[in-house]
Amino acid sequence: MKLPPPPRSPDAAQPDITRKQLERLYKRESNYWLLSAVLLIFLSATVILQFLTAGDWLPDTFLLNPQYRRTLSIGLPGLVIVFCLYITSKRREISRLKITLYDQRTLLDRLEERKKELEKTLAELRRVSTLKDNLLSTVSHELKNPLASIHSVSQILITYGDKDAESRDRFYKLISNETKRLSNLVGNLLDLAKIEAGKLVWDLSVQDPRDVLHAALAVSGVLAAERNIVLREETRSELPPLLIDRDRVIQVITNLVGNAVKFTPDGGTITVSARQTTDRGKKVVRFGVRDTGPGVAAEQKDRIFEWFHQAPRADGRKIEGSGLGLAISREIVDHFGGRIWVESKPRQGSEFFFTLPVTPKAEHPAAPADSPSRERPLASVR
């Protein structure tokens, strides 16, 4: 329901007028009114007194007719004072109305503010409720299916495992893939829960972007090789060090390369790049992942970064995954003050970019002589 706009008083044009100033005005008008009333009482008393004493208080030379003189001496000042009294009482009324109007406007403004707050809360509640619904359906579908396949394949292995070595290897691979899928989903769901609760922990350190890129490619390279996809790296110039959470940035790159592998046909090419550039006036390192897949439709370019959103496929088939990877990547990039986006022309592949701002050296924490990034085992990379 939309509330009507608050009525605007003549003072609305002067937003700096305060209630105190209006009260002062009302007090002044009340004083004038009181003065007029006192004068009228004084005049009436004088006239009554004159009648009682029957004395003349205008000089003889002023008017000759005594009756006329008397009428004038009473009527004129009386009329003036009655007029003043009328004017001041009206002005007093107007001042009072202004105060009432001011109070109503303040109340309406407060109501408007409250309404906006409530609308915000409602939108947030709707968002959380949709998130919860998506979470439930994802958990039920994405967890149930791999678990069911693992269960039935294990049953087959238990019963016929020793009979056919070729099928046995196929089944083991299936179990391994499904377990990987499950662990990826659980990791993403945990990240979503931490992000929503504001409990994502950031482990900051100064990192060489090339080193981070290589660590991510070591993980994704295996996936690409399995599908006979060429994974190329284009990083020519020296890159400035970045103050980042190494594992989280690796997570973003593996998400993007993982998607590229998923959507690129067998034998395609994925090109990963990192270069120093400026974005909106800031010095940044820009990472890019280009593929030769189906591309992203214009109307989906923003939506694919929303929680659980998956762009519909041309053949209507369900896309493997839960629609969480890009949303998590966006949260990570946003945290470091960067930007993530996709450029694509349908059927001509797509290129995902993300930037990370270069922090001035002075802001870097004192780092040990050899970079911690080189010491960290790859096993810690998800």
Closest separation in Å from C-beta 172 to ligand ATP: 23
Q: Are 33 and 85 in contact (CB under 8 A)?
A: yes
Instruction: Please name the helix (run of DSSP H) or strand (run of DSSP E) that holds residue 355, with its range, or none.
Output: strand 350-357
Instruction: Please name the helix (run of DSSP H) or strand (run of DSSP E) that holds residue 278, with its range, or none.
Output: strand 269-279
The single residue among 22, 135, 324, 340 that binds ligand ATP, judged by CB under 6 A, is 324
Q: Which option in Mg ion, ligand ATP, none does residue 324 bind, with CB closer than 5 to 8 A by kind? A: ligand ATP
Closest separation in Å from C-beta 155 to ligand ATP: 27
Nearer to ligand ATP, 44 or 137 (CB): 137
Q: Verify binding: residue 336, ligand ATP, rule CB under 6 A.
A: no
Helix boundaries (H) for 139-164: 144-160
The single residue among 209, 325, 338, 349 that binds Mg ion, judged by CB under 5 A, is 325
- The contact mask relative to ligand ATP for 266-305 (x = CB under 6 A, - = no) is -------------------------x-xx-x-------x-
Nearer to ligand ATP, 171 or 307 (CB): 307
Between strands 230-234 and 269-279, the pairing is: parallel
- C-alpha 273/C-alpha 254 separation (Å) is 13
Q: Any idea of the CA torsion for 193, 197, 198, 199, to the nearest 10 degrees?
A: -70
Reference 183, options 227, 158, 150, 216; nearest CA is 150
Residue 354's φ and ψ, nearest 5 degrees, are -150, 145
Interface with Mg ion in residues 256-275 (CB under 5 A): 259
Interface with ligand ATP in residues 300-319 (CB under 6 A): 304, 310-311, 319
The single residue among 321, 332, 358, 359 that binds ligand ATP, judged by CB under 6 A, is 321
Which residues, 6 or more positions from 346, have their beta carbon under 8 angstroms from its beta carbon? 294, 295, 296, 297
Binding site for ligand ATP (CB under 6 A): 188, 255, 259-260, 263, 291, 293-294, 296, 304, 310-311, 319, 321-327, 350
Binding site for Mg ion (CB under 5 A): 259, 321, 325
